[in-house]
Amino acid sequence: MELNFNQGWRFRREGGAWENVTLPHDAMIAEPRCADAPGGVNSGYFPGGKYEYEKRFSVTDLNKSYVLHFEGVYQHCTISVGGVICASHRYGYTAFDVDISDAVRAGENLVTVTVDNSLQPNCRWYSGSGIYRDVTLLIRDRNYIKTLQIDTVSVSPAVIKVTSDADVVEIYDGDSLIASGTPGEIPIPGARLWSAEHPHLYRCRAKSADDEAWVTFGIRALAWSAKTGLTVNGETVKLRGGCLHHDHGVLGAGEYRESEERRIRILKEQGFNAVRIAHNPASQITLETCDRLGMYVMNECFDGWYVPKTYHDYSRHFSEDWKDDLAAMVESARNHPSVIMYSIGNEVSETATEKGAEVCGELADFVRSLDPTRPVTAGINVLLNVYAKMGLGVYKEKGEYRPEPLQTKAGYREKKSGSAFFNAMANKLGRLMFLMSAGKKGENAVKGAAKHLDIVGYNYASSRYDADAKAHPERISVGSETMAADLPYNWERVKQYPQLVGDFVWSAWDYLGEACIGDWTYHSYPGLPLLAGQGMIDITGKPLAAMAFMQTVWGLRNEPFIAVSPLNHTGETPSKGAWQFTNGIDSWTWQGYEGKKATVEVYFVSPRVRLTLNGRTVGEREAKNNRAVFHLRYAPGTLRAEALGEDGSVLSAAELKTGGDETILSVKPEKTTAKPGEIVYVPIEFTDKDGALKPYLEETVALSVTGGELLGFGSALCKTDEVFNQPRHRTYRGRALAVVRAGEGGSVIIKAGSGAVFGKAEIEVQR
């Protein structure tokens, strides 16, 4: 029996009062941000802390096995029952089980979880704090089924192998029993295979005299070679990938099933067929969602090994814990068809050294010993390795490590090293960075680790693609981390070289922390940097212009896309990160900005494009990496882009039209009905009466929610002192997002107001 254990918890900060919470719960998102937070720009200026959770539960049968399954606790946690310490766990991103069978007593019991995330900095992005993922109580017979693993033996004919300590296994397609037998090889007649395009799933029930267990699986054959690339069920797959951090924007690190489903669904609708979980193992919710919706997954375990990237990070216990945490990642992914690749590290500069290459081999071999059915990779930043060989950007310890808080009177500042060093250099070097990964220095910096990997992951090193194809035709590689502006160059080579299996842009979805590293930051916005500003999709779930650019390059968009630089910042000079090449908005609604200079980009696949305004030609441009730029004065009306053939004929066209003068505060829940406790996303926008967004309206909106709970409210503004756990927030580009949890019945009523403009929506709660 599996019981959801998320309800009925109490929580308190060190020295604070108890409050009732429902898991998942991110304690960090409610901490006061401050300029001298030790995590600084990495954490979005959120501090960490020490926390305590407790929950009372009853036990009636002491002959049963009781195991608490934690999907993720950030971090350094200890679990006790009735005052008896049962387990501790350090890594904040791996799931773990705690057997409490010998600690429970008949009747009421008290489970306590203490969490220590006070030693900052310990992460290069926003980590969150506390029990931020699900908890499950497993109640089973003491002689329960411990193993249930499904592997695909072949797909034509379809045969699976069931490894289990059960006596009997049954295979179900939906509710229909289609095969049964004992553990071992089982044919599946007329099987429907799993792929991202056709994500068909089966269920297996394993039974013994005392127990039964279920697992969902897909039948799919995975293979990789330099000649055929990556194949799924015998068909070559090119990965249109994006990197993802684990937070959910206005919800912080709290992971809700509805949130992950929404994110993966939007990513798939926008053309992605693969995600890289950066830089930590995916949760079960993420993997189950990718299985069900059809999304390939590169599952990654570590951001670093034994050399620190921040003072209190995982490197301090890597040597003691890496086997357990790698095993936890593999175990969590083993039965998920969506997982097609394991990554053992991201931008680990140790791979530039002989010792680091040996460690790379040790980790890769360990993963293969646990699961030989998937390739092993690592995201190697070649330029970072080149610098490391020169002694640059390498973390230098200042005395012996001390596991205690750092002094931050003047604001803690740590010298940039590792990935942070690379990020700083990338913003300075620009295109020069592309060239510096090529040549003999780049080859020497990667070759030690490359020989241990099934697929070599290249971070920002696409200049190696042509050279590798000539010098190492046997080497399989993937663009494990790239920039959107480089996609035309990268994707041509993905299509050209079978051994180059795909491209993963940084990042698919914007995130908290690494604040303003990629954004076009306008300094007229007050406050501390908060969001990275690097996503192809912003934290509210709105696809940005760069997303349309990628669709164009991938060949998924035939009509032009028009992007307009925000006219409400005309005359301002933003600071720009290396990761975002545009701040364009697909809007020609800019009331009050008539006559202002406008910069318009058009993304297209044809040889030429023509731009017109109200029927008058602005100009024609030839394609340069699928992009053309025009300059004109803003006037209301119709802005039209026409994709032209070689003969000048119009192949396709797109338009932006100016909206009406009236202003509506639109409150549109993405679901109009919900079950009790269900999460619902509610975009809030300034529009005209027909729904045309007014991106220049960046005003404070006040919310009230009745019949439910407001879990988070905010916008995609990267620089602000506003918080997400309050019912007031300023819109950005005319838009904000609220997330509510439905109550027990009746309706959830959301009311929004800004000045003299009001909006309202209702969500019916159905039991």
**pLDDT one-digit tens code per residue, 318-345:** 999 999 999 999 999 999 999 999 999 9
- How high is the mean pLDDT of the chain? 94
Q: Which residues of 94-127 are buried (b: 16+ CB within 10 A; e: fewer)?
A: bbbebebbebbeeeebebbbbbbbbbbbbbbbbb
Q: How far apart are CA 258 and CA 263, in angstroms?
A: 9
Whether 544 has a pLDDT exceeding 80, the answer reads yes
List domains and CATH numbers for the chain: 2-141 (2.60.120.260), 148-222 (2.60.40.10), 223-505 (3.20.20.80), 545-586+592-657 (2.60.40.10), 664-765 (2.60.40.10)
What pLDDT score was predicted for residue 387?
82
* pLDDT tens by residue, 146-202: 999 999 999 999 999 999 999 999 999 999 999 999 999 999 999 999 999 999 999
Closest Cα partner for 345 from 387, 396, 306, 290? 306
Q: Could you report the per-residue pLDDT of 63-106, keeping only the tens digit for each?
A: 999 999 999 999 999 999 999 999 999 999 999 999 999 999 99
- Answer whether residue 428 shows pLDDT above 60: no
Q: Give the per-residue pLDDT at 395.
A: 76
**At 470, is the secondary structure helix, strand, or coil?**
helix
**Local structure of 688: helix, strand or coil:** coil
Note the pLDDT of residue 433.
Answer: 65
Residues paired with 299 in a beta bridge: 277, 342
pLDDT of residue 210: 87
Query: How high is the pLDDT of residue 579?
Result: 87
**Residue 364: its pLDDT value, please?**
98
How many whole angstroms separate alpha carbon 477 and alpha carbon 456?
4
Burial class (CB in 10 A: 0-12, 13-18, 19+), 56: exposed
Which residue type sits at 647? D
Q: Give the residue-averaged pLDDT of 55-63.
A: 96
Judge whether 764 and 674 are in contact, CB under 8 Å: yes
> Rounded distance, CA 149 to CA 25, Å?
31
What contacts 597, CB < 8 A, 6 or more positions away? Answer: 570, 631, 632, 633, 634
Looking at the predicted structure, is the pLDDT value of residue 410 above 60?
A: no
- Which residues lie below 8 Å from residue 594, measured CB to CB, with a gap of 6+? 634, 635, 636
Give the pLDDT confidence of 678-709 residue by residue, as tens digits.
999 999 999 999 999 999 999 999 999 999 99
Determine the Cα–Cα distance for residues 105 and 117; give it in Å rounded to an integer: 31
Q: pLDDT category, 537, cuts 50, 70, 90? A: very high
> What count of other Cβ atoms lies within 10 Å of the Cβ of residue 195?
18
Q: Output 576 or 226, whichever has higher pLDDT.
A: 226
380: which residues sit within 8 A by CB, 6+ positions away?
347, 348, 351, 446, 449, 450, 456, 457, 458, 459, 461, 480
- The pLDDT score that the predictor gives to residue 406 is 84
| Residue 68, strand partner residues | 98, 137
**Distance, CA of 498 to CA of 546 (rounded, Å):** 26
Rounded Cα gap, residues 731 and 112, in angstroms: 40
Distance, CA of 187 to CA of 233 (rounded, Å):
16
Nearest residue to 296 via CA among 256, 336, 260:
336
Query: What end-to-end distance do the CA atoms of the chain give, in Å?
Result: 24
pLDDT class for 431, splitting at 50, 70, 90? low
In this predicted structure, the answer to whether residue 414 has a pLDDT above a threshold of 70 is no
What pLDDT score does 388 carry? 82
- Pairing between β-strand 239-244 and β-strand 500-505 as defined by DSSP bridges: parallel
Whole-angstrom Cα distance, residue 636 to residue 346? 48
Q: Give the C-alpha separation, 302 to 279, whole Å.
A: 6
Quote the percentage of the chain above a pLDDT of 90. 89
**Residues 553, 550: Cα–Cα separation, whole Å:** 5
* pLDDT tens, residue by residue, 237-287: 999 999 999 999 999 999 999 999 999 999 999 999 999 999 999 999 999
Per-residue model confidence (pLDDT) at position 432: 62
What is the 3-class SS of 487-526, one letter each residue? Answer: HHHHHHHHHHCCCEEEEEECCCECCECCCCCCCCECCCCC
- DSSP H or E stretch at residue 554: helix 545-554
- The rounded distance, in Å, linking the Cα atoms of 55 and 97 is 17
Q: Is the pLDDT of residue 408 over 80?
A: no
What is the model's pLDDT at position 426? 63
Please, are residues 742 and 680 in contact by the beta-carbon 8 Å criterion? yes
Question: pLDDT tens-digit profile of 578-606?
Answer: 889 999 999 999 999 999 999 999 999 99
Please report the pLDDT score of residue 170 as a whole number: 97
Q: How many CA atoms lie within 13 A of 28 on its CB side?
A: 34
Quick check: helix, strand or coil at residue 146? coil
β-strand pairing of 561-564 with 597-603: antiparallel
Percent of the chain with pLDDT over 70: 96
CA distance linking residue 468 with residue 137, whole number of Å: 50
Task: Answer yes or no: is pLDDT of 297 > 80.
Answer: yes
pLDDT score at 424: 63
Count each helix (H run) and each strand (E run) in the chain, helices first: 12, 44
Q: Which residues of 597-606 are buried (b: 16+ CB within 10 A; e: fewer)?
A: ebbbbbbbbb
Q: Please compute Rg for the chain using Cα positions.
A: 26
Place of tokens 């019912």: 727
DSSP, residue by residue, 333-377 = HTT-TTEEEEEEEES-GGGGSHHHHHHHHHHHHHHHHH-TTS-EE
Residue spans of beta strands (DSSP E) within 401-475: 456-459
pLDDT at residue 412 greater than cutoff 60: no
Helix (H) or strand (E) holding 386: helix 382-389
| Mean pLDDT in residue range 441-448 | 90
Higher pLDDT among residues 512 and 384, named by residue: 512
**Binning pLDDT at 50, 70 and 90, where does residue 46 land?**
very high
Supply the pLDDT for residue 518. 77
